[in-house]
Amino acid sequence: MKNPNLFVLRATVACIAATMLTGCSRSAPPDSRAADEAAIREADAASLRAIAAKQMDATVSYYDEGASILTPNAPIATGRERIRSAWEQMFAVPGFNLAPKTTKVEVARSGDLAYAQGTYEFSATDPKGAPVQDRGKFVVVWKKQADGAWKIAADIWNSDLPLTPAPK
């Protein structure tokens, strides 16, 4: 062919004409938000059961490879090994008990990201054996994986309680 640009132009015009004649057009992908929300709620409940049982491998398995966890009073932990270390420290606290309750799940129309939010109650024992109580809120960002599974991309929580004044 003498002019390859002319070939491309003709092919483009032919495609446009075929689309106009047949009424074909690109359609939006089906709305899977309800099914995605159900899948996220199921994964969320399973991850919370793993945390309650202090099952380290199961807990960490719900996080995406590049996920971050933003725990109170600690630097960001990014990646599964650092997330594992953060959970190991929390699970090692005497009397550790974390009871989160997811109250909302919202899936993006694109179907690849979602967030969950809710509240938590926490109890433990301090080094002197005294009970420690906390309550607060959290946001978890979920990311759909290539295989369709949902994994946590970001996990953050913070307390509703006022800061304890520094000793004088």
Residue 50: predicted pLDDT = 96
User: Is 4 part of any domain?
Assistant: no
User: Is 33 part of any domain?
Assistant: yes
Residue 146: predicted pLDDT = 96
Regions of the chain short of the pLDDT cut 70: 1-28
pTM (2 decimals)?
Answer: 0.79
Q: What would the pLDDT profile of 47-73 be if each residue is shown by its tens digit?
A: 999 999 999 999 999 999 999 999 998
User: Is 168 part of any domain?
Assistant: no
User: Is 95 part of any domain?
Assistant: yes
User: Is 9 part of any domain?
Assistant: no
Residue 168: predicted pLDDT = 81
Residue 163: predicted pLDDT = 85
Distance CA 92, CA 113 (A): 32
User: Is 123 part of any domain?
Assistant: yes
CB 80 within 8 Å of CB 86: no
> Range of 70's domain?
29-159
CB atoms within 10 A of CB 159: 14
Number of domains composing the chain: 1
Return the CATH number at 87.
3.10.450.50
Phi, psi torsion values for 161, nearest 5 degrees = -80, 150
> Which H or E run includes 16?
helix 4-22
DSSP reduced 3-state for 30: coil
